[in-house]
Amino acid sequence: MELRRSFQEQIPNNHCFGCGPQNHQGLKIQSYWNGENQSVCDFTPLPHHSAGPLHFLNGGIISTIIDCHCVCTAIAKGYLMRDREIGQGELVWFATGNLEVKFAKPVPIDSHVQLVASISEAKESKIVLSCDLLADDTLCCLSTIVAVKVPNQWFEPKQ
């Protein structure tokens, strides 16, 4: 039986704090398709992810997991649009062009968090997504993300 691999496990050279499997101190979120233009990510907060009040999830962590889930979804879609598996052939990279998060309710630190991203527009150079964050099936955050295509030279260090 073949195990399903997350987008993040297939993206080469991913050292991102939020989603990079190669970042040993990161959050290591994992995203999967849930239909043609929708993806899901499950996240279990740890006590050190707290806000000022220890019983709520930190807003920066919330924004990070939403951002990373959506950008990785855009990367996966970019590969699909080129009829390739993630990580195959020339690299396809997107980065955050815009991120808007509406914090509707606090996210309890001891809750099961699920992110549901939906692609509303997919072009060669830009992918627009909306993302809902649910904590124990309660909608807590709504967001919109614009992911923009970046050239592979983006990864080369400046001299």
Q: Where are the alpha helices (DSSP H) in the chain?
A: 7-10, 59-81
What structural domains and CATH numbers belong to the chain?
7-153 (3.10.129.10)
Name the nearest CA neighbour of 149 among 56, 89, 57, 81.
81
CA angle 138, 76, 111 (to 5 degrees): 20
**Among 105, 8, 18, 96, which Cα is nearest to 57's?**
105
Q: Each residue of 11-37: pLDDT tens digit?
A: 988 889 999 999 999 999 999 999 999
Question: Do the Cβ atoms of 113 and 107 come closer than 8 Å?
Answer: yes
Which amino acid belongs to residue 150?
A: V
Is the pLDDT score of 157 beyond 90?
A: no
Residue 1: pLDDT over 60: no
- The tokens describing 63, both together, are 């924004």
Mean pLDDT across 119-136: 98
Single-letter amino acid code for the residue at 43 = F
> What pLDDT, on the 0 to 100 scale, is given for residue 159?
63
